[in-house]
Structure 1
């Protein structure tokens, strides 16, 4: 899918954001092995969070196996690694500016329906900022 070019605002973004690391367990294996579906899920989550998708790249490791992929954002990134055989996905969502990574995680969680979730939230900022 081709994106429209992102043209940054004339005022620079603040070098600060929220970084979410989510471990999602107890997920049905069939939700973790379809590369195209997972790519569309993460791209949709980025848009829902108010982020601007620049590019994405996903790789499926074969029938019934996991997926690894990243959505590159003007505001940073969303990445995921899945292990269908373990019912597990590790998601990494970092966004700055006005984007809302919590909304992206909510979309991903709703779609994957994990039985458990461990979340680490990191506030990031430039030194001295």
Structure 2
């Protein structure tokens, strides 16, 4: 299985959906701590409806979201600080439960977060944890 990741920072909703469809993604797992966005179409309810209209499932796993201090570090480009904060967060029961749920997926899945580049985003870390547990291939869309 291939696990994809995608960030919507520099994309329109139709562009993002096009990338997901081209990659064969069947379900999007939203790993934002807060599934709200100032960008039109990317808040939880509208995003779920837009994806459903294209035959793509949606699930929000809040437990895999970055805590506020980690989001602030990411915005300032302090990636090592983000990684340390997120590593601590991933030891919580909520994060471990959400990770177990993400690992159990069998359909082609994409992890969704805001940042365009996975290098500075926690979704890269989540994807690597899933890859380690399942031996799946990871691609960043």
TM-score when normalising by structure 1: 0.28
Between structures 1 and 2, the one with greater helix share:
2
Please identify which structure carries the higher strand content. 1
Bigger Rg, structure 1 or 2? 1
Query: Per chain length, whose mean CA-contact separation is higher, i.e. which structure has more relative contact order (CA < 8 Å, sep 6+)?
Result: 2
TM-score (norm 2): 0.26
